[in-house]
Amino acid sequence: MSCCFDSPSSHIPGSQAGAGTSTTAIHGGLEPDPLTGALVMPMVQSTTFVQEAVGKSRGHAYSRVSNPTVSVLEAQLGALEGALPAVCFVTGLAAETAVFLALLKAGDHVVLGDVIYGGTVRLVGQVLSELGITSTFVDASVAENVRGALRPETRLIFIESPANPTLKLTDIKAVADIGRAAGVRVAVDNTFLTPVIQRPLDLGVDVCVYSTTKHIEGHSTAIGGSVVSRDEALLDRVRFLRKCTGGIQAAFGAWLTTNGVKTLPLRLKQHSANALDLAKALHANPHVASVNYPGLEDHPQHELAQRQHLGGIHGGVLSFEVVGGTDAAVKVLNSTRLCLLVEHLGGIETLLTHPVTMTHADVPREHRLVVGIPDGLIRVSVGLEDVADIIADLEQAISIAHAESATRTGGAGARAAEGVLR
């Protein structure tokens, strides 16, 4: 290791061209602390950095502008995606806000996918709209819909794939091509799959945004967001906006996240394996009307999933519709013993959400049904517990819900359940 102290920046193993994703996650952008040799970079809590002389500093002045611990995370996230150092924010939505402000001004128009994170919809519909920025939401799973929504004043296309909670995919390369042909920037919220499974920059997209709160940190201990790009001028603008609006991540959150990143590839492999096994088990359950998971061969976009997702894996999130609507879904969610009911995803625990009463409660029912969010839909962020235990827990909860609905309807519930499937 002494070589590293002689010349701290001479050798960053994970940054070597051709290193694999796990190697890069563990070493990329990281080096032992040059001062102490600490293997894990110590956290720097200081708000302020002493200037050696007027106009002479070691690169940091004040932690709203930059902080050494945040810089470590930024180098790491940039390396993981083969991009420039990321710009990290205190939340995913702060990162998104900076991207919108960097690329849009009054009079501009943005095209977005119609099933995207609820906070993004609120930001665009209730905040950017007040600033004179207009928007159109389209079903981006048909890429041509994006082209059709472009206007002369369109400056940005913003998509998310897979969509939450329908798991519909968008062909990112097709949308990137549409954007480039029209001279419109394209941004992808890549929170669900992370650069381990999906690399939108390689598909021609200008910028990725992340809620690092989810899989990237992975342990549900730090909120954060990041912006990743290969466009230096765009990142400079995003960094300037962060300084102006004050959204930089705090050192402790960044430090926790740097440790989370190291196991991200390993975790996503296991999340994905567990999700596929659970998807198959739910698919075979007579009280489940449908399962949405891109890794299932009968997912309508399975072919796109195989092409767009790396490593033959498809992430840790799936959704399924339990027969019996909201009542049955609520009963399932109230009957699990292992899986936890939360508004969150990407943690190591298996986490359940009922979109209709939780994340998508504000969305009118007709619109929900059109975009594929029925009353009985349950979203599962499949954790790292033994998959047999996850499956057993959900199956017993579904049985309880089914038995109750059968009692209520004198057996009609059971017959309805069979009818949906067969």
Ligand X SMILES: *Cc1c(COP(=O)(O)O)cnc(C)c1O
- Point out the residues that are catalytic: 64, 117, 189, 214
Q: Check residue 291 and report its DSSP letter.
A: E
The stretch near ligand X (CB under 6 A) out of 33-41, 210-218, 277-285, 306-314 is: 210-218
Binding track, positions 105-124, relative to ligand X; x by CB under 6 A = ------------x-x-----
Instruction: Tell me: does residue 191 bind ligand X (CB under 6 A).
Output: yes
Kindly state the smallest distance separating residue 45's Cβ from ligand X, in Å.
Answer: 22
Max Cα distance, the chain (Å)? 83
Structure tokens at 234: 């765009």
- Report how far residue 146's alpha carbon sits from residue 185's, in angstroms, rounded to the nearest whole number: 13
Instruction: Tell me: does residue 71 bind ligand X (CB under 6 A).
Output: no
Q: Are 262 and 268 in contact (CB under 8 A)?
A: no
The stretch near ligand X (CB under 6 A) out of 2-10, 71-79, 90-98, 131-139 is: 90-98
Q: What is the DSSP string of 55-77?
A: TB-SS-SBTTT--HHHHHHHHHH
Which of 92, 195, 200, 260 binds ligand X (CB under 6 A)? It is: 92
Three-state SS for 317?
strand
Kindly state the smallest distance separating residue 344's Cβ from ligand X, in Å.
Answer: 8
Cis peptide before 162 (omega within 30 of 0): yes
Kindly state the smallest distance separating residue 120's Cβ from ligand X, in Å.
Answer: 6
Three-state SS for 157?
strand
Judged by CB under 6 A, the number of residues near ligand X is 14
- Report how far residue 210's alpha carbon sits from residue 91's, in angstroms, rounded to the nearest whole number: 9
Which of 93, 174, 241, 332 binds ligand X (CB under 6 A)? It is: 93
- Cβ closer to ligand X: 164 or 170? 164
Cβ count near 137 (within 10 Å): 20
- CB-hemisphere CA count at 13 Å for 78? 20
- Cβ closer to ligand X: 225 or 265? 225
- Report how far residue 67's alpha carbon sits from residue 92's, in angstroms, rounded to the nearest whole number: 18
Structure tokens at 276: 């596929």
Instruction: Tell me: does residue 319 bind ligand X (CB under 6 A).
Output: no
Instruction: Tell me: does residue 247 bind ligand X (CB under 6 A).
Output: no
- Cβ closer to ligand X: 82 or 119? 119
- Cβ closer to ligand X: 91 or 135? 91
Which residues does 271 contact at the CB level (< 8 Å), separation at least 6? 215, 315, 316, 382, 383, 384
Which of 114, 189, 206, 321 binds ligand X (CB under 6 A)? It is: 189
Kindly state the smallest distance separating residue 65's Cβ from ligand X, in Å.
Answer: 21
Instruction: Tell me: does residue 100 bind ligand X (CB under 6 A).
Output: no
Site for ligand X in 158-187 (CB under 6 A): 160, 164
Q: Which class for 297: exposed (0-12), middle (13-18), buried (19 or more C-beta within 10 A)?
A: exposed
Instruction: Tell me: does residue 225 bind ligand X (CB under 6 A).
Output: yes
Instruction: Tell me: does residue 214 bind ligand X (CB under 6 A).
Output: yes
Site for ligand X in 20-59 (CB under 6 A): none
- Cβ closer to ligand X: 250 or 414? 250
Kindly state the smallest distance separating residue 213's Cβ from ligand X, in Å.
Answer: 4
- Cβ closer to ligand X: 25 or 88? 88
Strands 351-353 and 340-341: parallel
Instruction: Tell me: does residue 141 bind ligand X (CB under 6 A).
Output: no
- Cβ closer to ligand X: 93 or 329? 93
Q: What is the DSSP string of 150-189?
A: --TTEEEEEEESS-TTT-----HHHHHHHHHHHT-EEEEE
Structure tokens at 324: 């019996």
Instruction: Tell me: does residue 135 bind ligand X (CB under 6 A).
Output: no
Which of 63, 71, 170, 213 binds ligand X (CB under 6 A)? It is: 213
Residue with the CB atom nearest ligand X in the bound state: 92
- Report how far residue 275's alpha carbon sits from residue 314's, in angstroms, rounded to the nearest whole number: 8
Three-state SS for 340?
strand
Determine what percent of the chain falls in helix, strand and coil, rounding each to the nearest 5: 45, 15, 40
Long-range contacts of 11-17 (CB under 8 A, 24+ apart): 12/79, 14/79, 15/79
Instruction: Tell me: does residue 73 bind ligand X (CB under 6 A).
Output: no
- Cβ closer to ligand X: 49 or 89? 89
- Report how far residue 386's alpha carbon sits from residue 390's, in angstroms, rounded to the nearest whole number: 7
Which of 15, 91, 161, 350 binds ligand X (CB under 6 A)? It is: 91
- Cβ closer to ligand X: 212 or 285? 212
Using the structure block, give the residue that is written with the tokens 């009054």: 106
Kindly state the smallest distance separating residue 68's Cβ from ligand X, in Å.
Answer: 22
Residues that bind ligand X (CB under 6 A): 91-93, 117, 119, 160, 164, 189, 191, 211, 213-214, 223, 225
